[in-house]
Each structure stands twice: as structure tokens, then as C-alpha cells.
Amino acid sequence: MNWKSISAPFDKAAIAALNAGDRVKLSGAVYTARDAAHKRLFEALQNGTELPVSLKGQGIYYVGACFKDGSPISAGPTTAMRMDKYAPSLYDNGVAASIGKGDRAREVYDAIVRNGGIYFAAIGGAGAIYADCIKSARLVSYPELGTEAIYEFEVKDFPLIVAIDCKGNAIYHK
Amino acid sequence: MKTLTYKQIADCVRKLTKACAEVTPSCAAAMREARSKETNENACFALDMLLENAEVARKRGLPVCQDTGMAVVFAELGQDVHIEGGLLTDAIDEGVRRGYGENGFRASVLDPINRVNTGDNTPAVTHISIVDGDSLKLTFLPKGFGSENMSKLYMLTPSAGLEGVKRCVVEAVEAAGSNPCPPMVVGVGIGGTAEKAMLVAKEQLLREIGERSRDAELARMEEELTSRINALGIGAQGFGGNTTALAVHIGKYPTHISALPVAVNIQCNAVRLASAIL
């Protein structure tokens, strides 16, 4: 199967051209956030307080990397399901894509379709390969959360598969 | 009588933590076999990535997975061993602290109430058993929580029978779906009390993949459950496919006349495990 290339931040037309099952190499900048950062972003959206980053058109990578000397040395995806409570609100507020592993709740499918978004699966357990595709990592917010802080990862040819496309089609076995 | 020092034990655990950078040989073999039997294109993609990743990690000493786990340590302590210089559990934590810190393995452990990270991946979860002899065997299992979160405990009652037990195991795997990073190893503990059943299930994850139980009845159940689980079609990463479970490992312990506890503890596709004897 051929690889398609896509860049982040995301263009809605480029997302619309992708279908579930497409293999994609992603290049550009994504933000990392997992459980603790999601809770904070979600609360900020609910309270109407300022977000630490603009979410418009962005991709959120569900990861808590291993770092050595400031660089990620293993950085595969974490289970997306744990972010399902927060994800619809994030998509509704401009997030274009999320990257994680595992199937999503119905509410997330609905939010993806409603917003023309997308969900990419990274391969859970392939942390070393993914770290190799991260060219730089910059701490953006919530440093006190350690590995759960928000980082900006500049990635190059990050190997993904379209798990839920903007039409709500998915690759998961049901 | 043999004397072991706090430092010897801490140093040993520190070295064992390097297991985070390598999947076990039996895991690698089982993954290669799964790939050879796979027909689902997306599952093949996932398995190819995982096989390549294991090679990259091993050659360069990188963590196979960023979830370097909560450190679960089994200490089999010979009753003729004397430990000096500090507590066994403190020495194990010291080894975890240093090993994780030096290698850049992730600090994933926090207080469950205030969610403040301890910063050094301690404490470990240490299970101590007293055995014959004058040596200490330490086994390190860095346990990722994508799979750990999918654990299930069923307090069945006797009328459920063995078919009831099997149904629970299949149900737990089906409910876990794509979350525990399949293909997985399914650890099952039957009997005991609630906590004993789960410990027996966890101990099954220490076995070589594919090594059948020495108990003939349990070995038959392992084979049957592997088939039933693979018939679910969840496949690698939940993408569909032929292999959902690399193996099912079952252990048992006597239980109460009123009870039939069944615990399911799942290990993801990256089996990392090491042991040493002092």
C-alpha cells in the first residue's frame, strides 16, 4: 500500500481527502497531551479561561514520552479511550486531528464527523520508531506535569494509519 | 546462611530495569509467528512496525515502549538469606529509582488522590515470597497500563462451572478490544481469594510465551481459550486479524467451597521481563 503525506497543522481539505485505512506519513508540528493535560484543557474550555496554546487546526498526540537529555527516546501512542471524555470538546474548539491508539467512543466519532476532523492510529508499542521521527521537542505548557506536560513535537514522516476518517468510517474490528 | 547487602540488591534491580529496552525472545518469536500467519493487511502493517521497533530498541538500548511501566518485582527470598544495610523493598525501590533515572525511562507513578508524580517511578510493586535456600531471585516486570487497565476480576460462584470461567476470560478480552495493544498475553488466575486470584493471574505473565501449563486440564483450557480469543477477530492493535492473543496462561490456587474467583490480567505485545539470582 502506498503512503500518503500530510502536514500539521492541518488543512481541512487534506483531511477530507483521507479515508480510513490510508497509511499516512505526517510531518510538521503537533502538540502532546494525555490524561492530566486534557483535564486542564477541558476545564479551561469549560471555564472560558485562556488556553495555553491555540487549538485551531492542530493535531494532538496522546503520548507521554521517555526523555533523555531533553530528547524523546521512546514516544509511541497511549490509549485514546481515556481522552474520550474530553475529545469532543477539543474537536468542537478547533482541534483537527488526534493521534493515539485504540478505538474511540461514539461521542468522539460524532465530534469528528461534525467538525470534519480525523483520528489517526499510531502503533502502540512502537515507541522507539516514533521517537526517531521526532526532530525536536519543545516544552509548551504545564511543566509541573512532567511527562504529561504539553510539548510541541516537530515530526518528520511519522507513520500513521487513518483510524477514523472525517466521514466516520473506521478500521476497527467491531 | 548468606548475607546480601542493600547495595547488592539495589544494583541488581538497577541492571534489571534495562529490560525495558528489549522484548523477550519468546515474545519476539511469537510476534514473528503471528506475522507469518496474518492475512489482514492493517494487522500486517502493525506487526511489521512492532517487529522493526523491537529491533531498533534492542540495538540502540531505547525503551521498546514509552510506557516503561510500573515496576512490578517478584522477590523469592531464600529463608537462609540475611539482608543488611536496609529493607529489601527499599533496596528494590533504590534500584528502580536509579535504573529508570539513568536510562531516561519514564516516571509514570503518582499519588492516586492528588495525582502528583513521585518523579522517579517509585515505589515498585514488590511481591515477596519466602522459599528454601540461601539465594534471592529477583524478577522485574515493567508493567504498562494500557493493558493493566483492562484487568478484570470475576467472583463467580461454583455453579458457573468451567464454562463460566472460560466465558469470563473471553468476555474480558472482548471488552478490552483494541486498548491493551494486542496481540496480547492473557494471564488468568482461577481460585484463591480476590487478591490471590489476581496475583496468580499476574504470575502467569512471567511464563515463557507458548509454554503450556504442566497441569493437563489447564493446558487444555489454555489451548481452547487461545482459539476462542483469536476467533474474536480483534487482531493486532484492534485492526482485525488472526492473532489477538499470543498466548493464554492459566494458573490456579485452591479456593473456598463458596467460590470460583477468576482474575484476568493482560500483557501487551511488548513483553519485557528480566530476572537475576543473588
Look up the CATH number of the domain holding residue A39. 3.20.130.10
Total domains, chain A: 1
Q: Which residue of B has its CA nearest to A125?
A: B65
Does residue A70 lie within any of the structural domains?
A: yes
- Tell me which H or E stretch contains B195: helix B194-203
pLDDT tens for A157-167 read 999 999 999 99
Positive or negative, the CA dihedral A59, A64, A69, A73 is negative
Does residue A84 lie within any of the structural domains?
A: yes
Given a contact cutoff of 8 angstroms between Cβ atoms, the answer to whether B209 and A144 are in contact is no
DSSP classification of residue B125: E
Q: Which three cell numbers stand for residue A83?
A: 481522552
Model-wide pTM > 0.90: yes
- What range defines the domain where residue A94 resides? 3-164
pLDDT score, position A1: 72
B7: helix, strand or coil:
helix
The fraction of chain B above a pLDDT of 70, given in percent, is 100
The fraction of chain A above a pLDDT of 70, given in percent, is 100
pLDDT score, position A23: 97
For residue A174, pLDDT beyond 90: no
Does residue A172 lie within any of the structural domains?
A: no
pLDDT tens for A80-137 read 999 999 999 999 999 999 999 999 999 999 999 999 999 999 999 999 999 999 999 9
Does residue A174 lie within any of the structural domains?
A: no
Write the residue in B50, B104, B149 that is nearest to A73 by C-beta.
B104
Asked if the Cβ–Cβ distance from B237 to A124 is below 8 Å, we say yes
Give the pLDDT band (50/70/90) at residue B67.
Answer: very high
pLDDT tens for B207-262 read 999 899 999 999 999 999 999 999 999 999 999 999 999 999 999 999 999 999 99
Does residue A47 lie within any of the structural domains?
A: yes
Q: Chain A residues within 8 A (CB-CB) of chain B? A: 1, 21, 23, 36, 63-69, 72-76, 78-79, 81, 101-103, 121, 123-129, 131-132, 145-148, 159, 161, 171-173
For residue B203, pLDDT beyond 80: yes
Interface test with A, best of B24, B41, B51, B67 (most A CBs within 10 A): B67
Specify the amino acid at residue B273: L
pLDDT tens for B138-196 read 999 999 999 999 999 999 999 999 999 999 999 999 999 999 999 999 999 999 999 99
Q: Is the ipTM of this complex over 0.90?
A: yes
Q: Which of A50-54, B74-78, B87-91, B179-183 has the lowest mean pLDDT?
A: A50-54
Active-site residue list of A: 38
Asked if the Cβ–Cβ distance from B62 to A74 is below 8 Å, we say yes
For residue B118, pLDDT beyond 80: yes
Asked if the Cβ–Cβ distance from A129 to B52 is below 8 Å, we say yes
Does residue A136 lie within any of the structural domains?
A: yes
Q: Which three cell numbers stand for residue A12?
A: 481541512
DSSP, residue by residue, B88-124: HHHHHHHHHHHHHHHHT-----B-TTT--B-SS-PPP
Mean pLDDT computed over every residue of chain B: 97
The fraction of chain B above a pLDDT of 90, given in percent, is 99
- A-B contacts at Cβ under 8 angstroms: 138
Does residue A77 lie within any of the structural domains?
A: yes
pLDDT score, position B29: 97
A76: helix, strand or coil:
coil
